[in-house]
Amino acid sequence: MRSLSTVETGLAARPAASEAVFRGSLLAVIAVAPLLILPGVFFHFDVTPKILALLAGTAIALWFWRPEGRAGASREMHWLRRLLGLQAMSLVASTLLSADRSLSLTGANWRRFGLVTQLTLLLYIYLLSRYLSGGNGHRLERVNLVLRVLAASGIAAALYGIAQYFGWDPWLPAPAYHVGEGPEQIVRPPGPLGHAGYFSAYLLAVTFAGLALLGTEKNHSWRWIGWAAAALAAAAILLSGTRGAMLGLGAGAAVLALRAKSRLSARRLIAAAAVLAGFILFYVSPAGLLLRSRTRWFLEDPYGGGRLRLWADTLRMAAPRPLAGYGPETFSSEFPRFQSEALARQFPDRYYESPHNVVLDALAGQGAPGLILLVLLAGLGLWAGRRDGPRPDALAAGLAATLVGNLFLSFTLPTALVFCLLVAALCALPDGAKPPALSRFPRLLPQFTALLLLAAACSLGWSDFWLARVRQALEAGNLEQGMRHYRRILQFKPPGVDTDLWYSRALYSAASKTDTEPVRRQAWQEAFAAARRAAQTSEQRPNAYYNLAAFYAVQNDFAGAEQSLRAAIAWAPRWFKPHWMLAQVLEQAGRSKEAEGEARRAVELDASKDSAVTQTWQRIRARIPAPANAGAKKQE
């Protein structure tokens, strides 16, 4: 028999081990999620791995969480948890009332930020808040631990972005983030986040997390890491050439300077002047050529590529559904109906995946409740950081910088994660003002929820993994293998995940290159079936109907092509391409007057930027016979 002391030691070790796994899972999400990119493994290699990291990390943390443990928390932390609950209810309500519930559930391909991901993020932040509030008075050490992980992870991301600027990238093709040619070429390093804008918005939080460590850490090694994180993240932001992030960086620096003015010293001012001088020297040096080219782009496009018109159109879109919005992630499918002609003429063939503004994104997706909750969440963080001190000063400045930077973007998982993380860290700083209370959860609810999250991760990971295999097979010319792989995807694909539009186009392109007639015929039929499915479910509905019309046109089914094109026009009335293609279909059917009207409309929406569109209109107009009395009127 084991002794009583041995049993007691074993019982004490179990909570300690569970606490270690719980803490490690939470910190692993902060460290790994922003960095994960797996080209060749997943189709959406810069999005899916990050979502899987959040789902798996939250599931593990939830499984090992012990809700019966007591934890005191500040009033601000209690309010944070209330806001997280209200945000969850708002997301569920807007999804149930969504214009496309399946799409709102799982999210669009470009960021996969639907109900499942957002609820998981809210749950993760709730668990993080429980961790930060615990520890029997060691909350400041726990905040510092979170900041350490964020800074260390941010250093790796910043170094990768800086390497991309200087031409070294072992994972991503450099032409994907280089724009222009010759001396006019610019580079927009995306880092591991897939886009320079979201990369730099994430680095804003890293910059000020590093400064928070610099001002509070007693360990010299971590102070150096804090300094490296702040310096490298700020440098990577400048090299990314992202105006919104630069503005956010300036706003954060201004907030920090105002709050810490009593602690400013001559040495710090000299250091800041040295950093500024170093940047100016780099900018005018040969290494700064790409950055100078980016400056010229700023001057040529001072308003950010029609962003003001996009925001105005988004407000007009939100007006009919002010209380529930259109549902999370439905912007890309619903916005084309509200796009103004002025914006269409400015950028005739541009696809808008979001309103490029977190506040308007919340308004369009969740209505006024989503907007109000986002503002309250940010306000709570700033209020919680009202006390003086190096840590609250730096974190409040970081939150302000992140807010300003995201006024020109919409949240992705990494940027939403660091935004919420800063709010949670700020809410953990004040002393606990309310007595601790027992958490009342049904005994098996955390474990059941963890299993649901793991199931969602498996379903998403499976479909995206095999979609990458499909692409590889089609690119290699192995159509039969590609079609077999795609059938596997259809068995377990999560609802709302749009793969049919891409598959129909990729399979059609591959079929046109094969010499084997039976395989070509089978591939064409499968591509056509995918095109029909995409027209009913795609997140890019106008594009899907336009794609389906092309399939009908190849079969000389002019009725089917016309019907599909009119559906595309109904979804996107001010997109010139369906009007252009419809003009050609009507011309083939001998309906010249209708064709001339559609061709003229295409020229108007295209703003005469594409010569082929103008030539189509001129050709159709030339074939229309002049009225019989035209000559008599001319003589008169």
Check residue 10 and give its pLDDT. Answer: 44
Alpha carbon 59 to chain centroid, angstroms: 22
**The Cα angle at residue 26 between residues 25 and 28, in degrees rounded to 5:** 65
pLDDT of 471: 95
Residue 133 near residue 139, CB atoms below 8 Å:
yes
Neighbours of 127 (CB within 10 A): 21
For the chain, residues with pLDDT lower than 50 are 1-2, 4, 6-12, 69-70, 435-438, 630-636
Question: Does residue 84 contact residue 125 with C-beta atoms inside 8 Å?
Answer: yes
Q: What pLDDT, on a 0 to 100 scale, did the predictor assign at position 325?
A: 94
| 234 neighbors 207 (Cβ within 8 angstroms) | yes
CA angle 592, 597, 603 (to 5 degrees): 120
Q: Select from 43, 47, 572 the least CA-distant residue to 332.
A: 572
Cβ atoms of 105 and 95 closer than 8 Å: yes
Give per-residue pLDDT as tens, 303-341: 667 889 999 999 999 999 999 999 999 999 999 999 999
Angle between helices 390-405 and 413-428 (to 10 degrees): 150
Tokens 């840590």 locate to 391
The pLDDT of residue 636: 43
CB atoms within 10 A of CB 192: 23
Beta bridge partners of 187: 178
Distance CA 467, CA 487 (A): 10
CB neighbours of residue 563 within 10 Å: 15
CA-CA distance, 398 to 570, in Å (whole number)?
44
Question: How does 88-97 read in b/e, with b if 16+ C-beta sit within 10 Å?
Answer: bebbebbbeb
User: Residues 324, 97: contact at Cβ < 8 Å?
Assistant: yes
**Taking Cα atoms as reference points, which of 201, 168, 257, 225 lies closest to residue 416?**
201
Cα(first)–Cα(last) distance of the chain, in Å? 121
Rounded CA Rg of the chain: 28
507 touches 471 (CB < 8 A): no
For 333-353, the DSSP string reads HHGGGT--HHHHHHSTT---S
Domain locations in the chain as residue ranges: 138-301+389-409, 575-624
Check residue 633 and give its pLDDT: 45
